[in-house]
């Protein structure tokens, strides 16, 4: 019986090759898109779950409020918080801190800037599950100046030699290597190349329990015991700063509150200051999960539409089977079997498409996904089960609709099975294009918002600025003027500036107040150390007063320049009022305000411009910005490297372009826009395949009507318009339904941006027009062919 069902199914597929291809290819494309997106979603949800006790690991985050009411939300805590928490919370089984640094590391003639150098406590391996390749993890990081390398770092400095017992120069420190560990998995919210013992910092600065409670410089993690009441621990932690520092909060101008954050939630829910890496958003994962479902639904709708549309051709077959004694359950099983055969063929095609599309998908998603069907056989079984389920669900209605025909009516020709479900087919077409129009609108809005952020006026000029990484280098702190003078002699170099950081990289934060006593007027500001040429090099407009000037010697130690947000936060009404007034930096000095510059976006356009203070402070200098003339970039880079080698022959020449570095902040937006564009295109392709096949079917059914109309004088254009309007009307209904849905969803997404585009009506009109054009193009060929056909052919049987 099953063999007979299979033979009939394959015979039916061969008989209608075009429709079979559209069904199989459409489903294969839908399944491959769905599986690719689900691989992406699985990867996003797997971050930090590789740790043995992942559900018991929490990160300490801080909400800090200045006396002026300004809030600062950070992923970092102060170093003494961990020993204090261990003292107060017996539920904590292990704890560790991470102090991230960037250091120049040397071995003989090799030198590299290690941007992910972590100082950690010796309990680091009690909290996190990191594979140990060599050495004893219990003894790794207990002694000062001990060092653990990742496998890739060990290869970089030592090749295939055994590094255990050898040493590296880490920013002037000789640190002995005690262990080698595997590189951190990619699905983690932090990555590192080297681990130095936290005891090193304590040996240089004293016990961390005595360190400053307001210096939020370390990431702190706790591993709780199974069954711990986290809410109870949270309540004890929240007020811990007040218990340990008491009235000192009033002196500092801050109040601090501590919160526990599950480590498995960090990647998708955490976007606080000083994150160890770029995180994503849960909303994006939900969006793509919905897109996967929508694309699969569109593909399934195609199958249902074509199956019900072709029912007329199988009506006599069903009538004959019933007359021959076939029961209802046998007919239902037959048609469900055909549906499952189609989905299984589509699954085979999808598996081939996945392997072809995966490299491109990885490039767009910034991932390194792979799918080995042998190694991941449970996933293959899941895909197989899913395909069978899809086949059954999509085949249910056609199976029952076809098997319900009355054989007497069918064999007499008094029923037209195909037309009985036309309302359903039309409804499914509307549903398909509603999803497609929503995706089109979403893709257009995401692309416009991304283009807006990348091309908007930031308040400064970020084009053709090359930034040299001279972190902790004497070149940019002790030889600044001579180094800059040599750079400015290079043809094509317009100007230079040295800074502590650059726009796009978060500056240091601290409290500032208009009075020396740090009274309740204190506000949390960002602070950026710059030199005299920063304002000119970055083309920042001075609104009042002046910028820093070399001839004014007092500017080096007695001057501040504020942005607009800073003077407004301190209560001044206009840019002229602060000029000549004093400003005090917490734990720092008091200087005069000499100028106010316009607000410029030193952070992503996702955020509003915060208060910023510029000041001269050579010990903070890390980076050298070089403004290059257009057309002279490659030659200038070679000459800049030559100058660098002359001043710092022992240091590597590393640089980046500011505009490219700044755009890294939009990594998530670039990814979602690119993926949404691709999957919107594929969803439209799948929908159009179904529309094309349906149009072909309808024109076949209406051949005699078209012949009669032509005989009675209807023109080709009138017939094309008649056939096309029947489908474009459905697409127009879909657009009317999709527009408010897309407007609501896009508005919610754009609310997350401080600087955003306006949702003008042109976006929605463009999407509607595009969907109409797509529908017209899809059905045009079939309509024109039917209109040009010789009416004698279709009427000769009459």
State pLDDT tens for residues 698-738: 776 666 777 777 676 777 667 777 777 777 788 888 888 98
Backbone angles phi, psi at 174, to 5 degrees: -95, 115
How big is the chain by its Cα radius of gyration, in Å? 34
**Mean pLDDT value across residues 179-206:** 93
The helix (run of H) or strand (run of E) holding residue 535 is: helix 534-537
pLDDT at 630 over 90: no
Least confident among 389-398, 534-543, 547-556, 761-770: 389-398
Q: DSSP state, 314?
A: G
pLDDT in tens, 450-480: 888 877 778 888 889 999 987 656 666 678 8
pLDDT of residue 196: 95
**Mean pLDDT value across residues 190-204:** 94
**Mean pLDDT value across residues 90-119:** 91
- pTM passes above 0.85: no
Tell me the H-state helices in 159-281: 198-205, 230-238, 240-245, 248-252, 266-269
pLDDT of residue 136: 87
pLDDT of residue 519: 46
Compute how many other C-beta atoms are within 10 angstroms of the C-beta atom of residue 76. 25
Query: Measuring CA to CA, which residue among 69, 40, 552, 626 is closest to residue 286?
Result: 40
pLDDT in tens, 44-56: 999 999 999 999 9
In three-state secondary structure terms, 648 is coil
pLDDT of residue 532: 93
The more confidently predicted of residues 496 and 667 is 496
For the chain, percent of residues with pLDDT exceeding 90: 26
pLDDT at 291 over 90: no
Q: How confident is the model at residue 420 (pLDDT cuts 50, 70, 90)?
A: very low
pLDDT of residue 418: 47
Q: How confident is the model at residue 633 (pLDDT cuts 50, 70, 90)?
A: confident
Q: How confident is the model at residue 252 (pLDDT cuts 50, 70, 90)?
A: low
**Mean pLDDT value across residues 624-649:** 89
pLDDT at 86 over 70: yes
pLDDT of residue 471: 66
Q: How confident is the model at residue 413 (pLDDT cuts 50, 70, 90)?
A: low
Rounded to an integer, what distance in angstroms lies between the CA atom of residue 454 and that of residue 610? Answer: 19
Cα dist from 595 to 147, 202, 330, 515, 615, whole Å: 46, 40, 87, 18, 11
């Amino acid at each position: 019986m099953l063999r007979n069902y299979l033979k009939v199914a394959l015979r039916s597929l061969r008989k209608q090759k075009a429709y079979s291809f559209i069904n199989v290819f459409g489903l294969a494309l839908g399944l491959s898109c769905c599986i690719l997106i689900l691989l992406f979603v699985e990867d996003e949800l797997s971050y930090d779950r590789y740790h043995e006790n992942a559900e018991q690991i929490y990160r300490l985050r801080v909400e800090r409020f200045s006396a002026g009411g300004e809030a600062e939300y950070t992923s970092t805590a102060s170093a003494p918080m961990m020993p204090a928490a261990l003292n107060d919370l017996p539920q904590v089984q292990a704890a560790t801190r991470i102090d991230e640094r960037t250091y120049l590391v040397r071995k003989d003639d090799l030198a590299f800037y290690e941007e992910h150098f972590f100082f950690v406590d010796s309990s680091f391996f009690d909290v996190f599950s990191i594979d140990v390749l060599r050495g004893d993890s219990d003894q790794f990081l207990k002694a000062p100046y001990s060092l653990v390398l990742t496998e890739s770092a060990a290869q970089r400095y030592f090749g295939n030699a055994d590094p255990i017992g050898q040493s590296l120069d880490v920013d002037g420190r000789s640190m002995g290597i005690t262990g080698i560990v595997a590189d951190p998995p990619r699905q983690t919210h932090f990555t590192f190349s080297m681990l130095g013992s936290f005891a090193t910092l304590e040996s240089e600065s004293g016990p961390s329990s005595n360190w400053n409670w307001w210096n939020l410089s370390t990431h702190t993690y706790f591993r709780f015991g199974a069954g711990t009441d986290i809410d109870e621990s949270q309540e004890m932690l929240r007020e811990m700063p007040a218990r340990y520092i008491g009235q000192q909060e009033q002196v500092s101008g801050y109040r601090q509150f501590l919160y526990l954050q599950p480590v498995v939630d960090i990647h998708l829910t955490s976007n606080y200051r000083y994150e160890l890496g770029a995180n994503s958003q849960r909303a994006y994962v939900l969006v793509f999960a919905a897109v996967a479902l929508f694309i699969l639904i569109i593909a399934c709708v195609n199958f249902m539409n074509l199956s019900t549309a072709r029912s007329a051709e199988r009506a006599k077959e069903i009538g004959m089977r019933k007359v021959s004694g076939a029961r209802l359950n046998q007919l239902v099983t037959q048609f469900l079997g055909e549906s499952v055969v189609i989905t299984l063929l589509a699954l085979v095609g999808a598996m081939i498409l996945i392997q072809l599309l995966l490299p491109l998908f990885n490039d767009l998603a910034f991932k390194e996904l792979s799918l080995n069907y042998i190694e991941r056989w449970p996933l293959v079984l899941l895909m197989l089960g899913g395909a069978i389920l899809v086949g059954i669900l999509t085949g249910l209605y056609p199976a029952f609709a076809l098997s319900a025909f009355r054989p007497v009516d069918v064999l007499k020709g008094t029923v037209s099975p195909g037309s009985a479900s036309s309302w359903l087919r039309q409804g499914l077409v509307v549903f398909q294009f509603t999803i497609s129009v929503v995706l089109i609108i979403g893709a257009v809005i995401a692309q416009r918002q991304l283009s807006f952020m990348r091309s908007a006026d930031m308040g400064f000029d970020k084009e053709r600025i090359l930034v040299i990484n001279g972190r902790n280098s004497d070149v940019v702190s002790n030889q600044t003027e001579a180094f800059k003078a040599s750079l400015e002699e290079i043809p094509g170099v317009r100007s230079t500036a040295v800074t502590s950081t650059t726009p796009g990289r978060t500056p240091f934060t601290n409290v500032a107040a208009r009075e020396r006593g740090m009274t309740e007027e204190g506000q949390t500001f960002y602070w950026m150390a710059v030199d005299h040429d920063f304002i000119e090099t970055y083309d920042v407009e001075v609104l009042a007063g002046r910028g820093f000037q070399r001839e004014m010697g007092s500017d080096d130690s007695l001057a501040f320049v504020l942005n607009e947000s800073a003077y407004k936060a301190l209560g001044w009404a206009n840019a002229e009022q602060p000029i000549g007034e004093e400003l005090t930096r917490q734990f720092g000095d008091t200087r005069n305000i000499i100028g106010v510059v316009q607000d410029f976006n030193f952070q992503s356009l996702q955020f509003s411009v915060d208060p910023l203070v510029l000041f001269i402070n050579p010990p903070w200098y890390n980076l050298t910005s070089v403004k290059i003339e257009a057309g002279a970039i490659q030659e200038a880079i070679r000459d800049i490297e030559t100058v660098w080698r002359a001043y710092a022959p022992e240091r590597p020449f590393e640089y980046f372009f500011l505009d490219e570095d700044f755009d890294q902040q939009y990594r998530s937006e670039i990814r979602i826009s690119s993926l949404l564009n691709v999957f919107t295109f594929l969803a439209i392709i799948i929908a159009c395949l179904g529309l094309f096949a349906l149009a072909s079917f309808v024109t076949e059914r209406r051949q005699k009507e078209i012949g009669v109309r032509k005989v009675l004088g209807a023109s080709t254009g009138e017939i094309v318009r008649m056939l096309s309007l029947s489908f474009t009307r459905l697409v127009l209904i879909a657009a009317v339904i999709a527009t408010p849905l897309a407007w609501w969803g896009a508005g919610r997404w754009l609310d997350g941006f401080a600087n955003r585009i306006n949702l003008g009506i042109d976006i929605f009109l463009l999407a509607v027009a595009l969907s109409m054009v797509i529908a017209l193009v899809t059905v045009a060929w079939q309509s024109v062919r039917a209109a040009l056909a010789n009416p004698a052919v279709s009427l000769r049987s009459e």
